[in-house]
């Protein structure tokens, strides 16, 4: 898949307080009262680590009876908080009117929420309202793990002339999220970065975790995976928050988490890089062997498929599959490989093997010797 983004190095324009510290966006899930907005902002500003203060004004709620945010009424509070603390202001926009009101109120950064990203019509309308806008715009991943939809939304915003573009990784809703509110599925933001190395990707550990106790761990993992920043929800009285009470942190807890973050470099000394290059050469060689082995396996599969076809035997023999899985899992375990990983790998290889044999059935006979 190719990705077609034309962005400025907008990351520089973030101008974080400490250039060695990752970009931090923090603030309450929702703006609730003037006092809450201003007190929380003052406490967050005093940490000296946060660049953008986030607060949701228009809240997309699953059910119509939830708190839907205060809307434009809270915009002047954000302006006040900015004047008081120097923090830049960030809000979520879901409709063109939100964009217009926010720009008029001097908001410094806009983001598109997960529910909106999933709807190309909405994203297109927002893109049109953003035509030529010079402030950073971040696009959260859609609720479900669809990388194309995420990229599509980024492309729509970019095509409207927004060059200060970034992505927010906030996890994905799947049928089994384990301990998370939204499964991180790190492979998706990593793939997004691989496709577009210049695009900053900021992780939102709050919406991934869904609970305070997990935020630190997810935040650290994001930095270990070279993500470019963090968006973390923080509220002066989290337990009384009108939205996402379980995952919001007091500014004091946020401070602890930020101070404990282990910052790693993406590149090391020359010596380190040469050791790395050597190990990578070995890994490249092993990968090449792996692929050759897979290719040999698939050749054998084709052979066995032909014999089954000639003898009118079903492609699948369930007992053979059962035995094969048991023996391979046992070998994998003996070799110290993770069983869940080996199971997934075997299932994938088996699926491909079935496909190879199925293709034989649909191929035209070749000189009658099939
Ligand atoms: C939010 O940031 O408060 C929010 C609604 O997030 P998401 O769009 O990721 O669910
Ligand atoms: Mn929230």
pLDDT digits (tens, 9 = 90+) for 248-292: 999 999 999 999 999 988 788 999 999 999 999 999 999 999 999
Say whether pLDDT at 28 is over 60.
yes
Say whether pLDDT at 22 is over 70.
yes
Per-residue pLDDT reduced to its tens digit, 185-244: 999 999 999 999 889 999 999 999 999 999 999 999 999 999 999 999 999 999 999 999
270-362 domain in CATH 1.20.120.80?
Answer: no
How many CA atoms are closer than 13 Å to the CA of 328, on its beta-carbon side?
A: 16
The atom of ligand 1 lying closest to the CA of 113 is 8
CA 29 / ligand 2 centre spacing (Å): 4
CA nearest ligand 1 atom 9, residue? 114
More confident residue, 365 or 130: 130
**Going by C-beta distance under 8 Å and a sequence separation of 6 or more, which residues neighbour residue 118?**
142, 143, 144, 146, 149
Q: Grade residue 368 by pLDDT with cuts at 50, 70 and 90.
A: very low
Mutation to probe ligand 1, out of 29, 113, 183, 241 (largest number of atoms < 8 A from CB):
113
CA 133 remoteness from chain centre: 24
Query: How are beta strands 165-169 and 201-203 bridged, if at all?
Result: parallel
Mean of the per-residue pLDDT values of the chain: 93
CA 29 remoteness from chain centre: 18
H or E stretch at 216? helix 212-224
Cβ–Cβ < 8 Å for 168, 231 = yes
What are the b/e assignments for 338-362, b being 16+ CB within 10 Å? eeeebeeebeeebeebeebbeeeee
The atom of ligand 1 lying closest to the CA of 117 is 8
Q: What is the pLDDT of residue 369?
A: 47
Cβ–Cβ < 8 Å for 232, 219 = yes
Q: Which CATH class is domain 7-260?
A: alpha beta
Give the dihedral sign, CA 248/251/253/257.
positive
Q: At residue 109, what are phi and psi to the nearest 5 degrees? A: -150, 140
CA nearest ligand 1 atom 2, residue? 29
CA 125 / ligand 1 centre spacing (Å): 19
pTM: 0.85
DSSP helix/strand/coil, 170:
coil
Q: What is the pLDDT of residue 13?
A: 53
CA 32 / ligand 2 centre spacing (Å): 13
Q: Grade residue 349 by pLDDT with cuts at 50, 70 and 90.
A: very high
Q: What is the pLDDT of residue 237?
A: 98
More confident residue, 302 or 14: 302
Mean pLDDT of 26-48: 97
Per-domain boundaries in the chain:
7-260, 270-362
Residues enclosing ligand 1, CB less than 6 A? 29, 56, 92, 113-115, 140, 170, 207
Q: Grade residue 364 by pLDDT with cuts at 50, 70 and 90.
A: low
């Amino acid at each position: 898949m190719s990705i077609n983004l034309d962005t400025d190095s907008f990351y520089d324009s973030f101008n974080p307080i400490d250039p060695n510290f990752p970009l931090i966006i923090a603030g309450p899930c929702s703006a609730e009262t003037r006092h809450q907005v201003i007190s929380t902002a003052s406490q967050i500003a005093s940490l000296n680590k946060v660049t953008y203060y986030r607060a949701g004004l228009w809240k997309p709620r699953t059910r119509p009876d939830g708190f839907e945010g205060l809307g434009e009424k809270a915009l002047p509070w954000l302006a006040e908080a900015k004047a008081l603390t120097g923090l830049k202001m960030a809000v979520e926009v879901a409709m063109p009117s939100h964009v217009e009101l926010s720009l008029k109120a001097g908001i410094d950064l806009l983001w598109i929420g997960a529910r909106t990203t999933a709807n190309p019509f909405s994203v297109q309308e927002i893109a049109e309202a953003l035509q030529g806008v010079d402030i950073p715009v971040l696009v959260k991943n859609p609720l479900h793990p669809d990388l194309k939809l995420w990229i599509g939304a980024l492309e729509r915003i970019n095509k409207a002339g927004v060059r200060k573009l970034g992505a927010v990784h906030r996890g994905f809703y799947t049928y089994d999220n384990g301990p998370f509110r939204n499964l991180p599925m790190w492979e998706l933001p990593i793939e997004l970065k691989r496709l577009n190395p210049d695009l900053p990707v900021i992780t939102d550990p709050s919406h991934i975790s869904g609970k305070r106790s997990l935020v630190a761990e997810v935040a650290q993992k994001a930095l270990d995976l070279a993500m470019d920043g963090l968006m973390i929800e923080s509220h002066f009285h989290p337990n009384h928050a009108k939205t996402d009470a379980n995952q919001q942190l007091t500014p004091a807890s946020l401070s602890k988490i930020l101070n404990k973050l282990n910052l790693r470099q993406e590149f090391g000394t020359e010596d380190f890089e040469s050791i790395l290059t050597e190990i990578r050469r070995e890994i490249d060689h092993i990968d090449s062997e792996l692929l050759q082995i897979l290719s040999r396996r698939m050749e054998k599969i084709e052979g066995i498929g032909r014999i089954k076809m000639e003898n009118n035997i079903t492609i699948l023999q369930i007992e053979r599959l059962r035995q094969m899985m048991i023996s391979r899992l046992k070998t994998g375990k003996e070799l110290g490989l993770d069983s869940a990983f080996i199971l997934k790998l075997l299932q994938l290889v088996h699926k491909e093997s079935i496909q190879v044999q199925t293709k034989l059935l649909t191929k035209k006979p070749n000189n009658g010797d099939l």
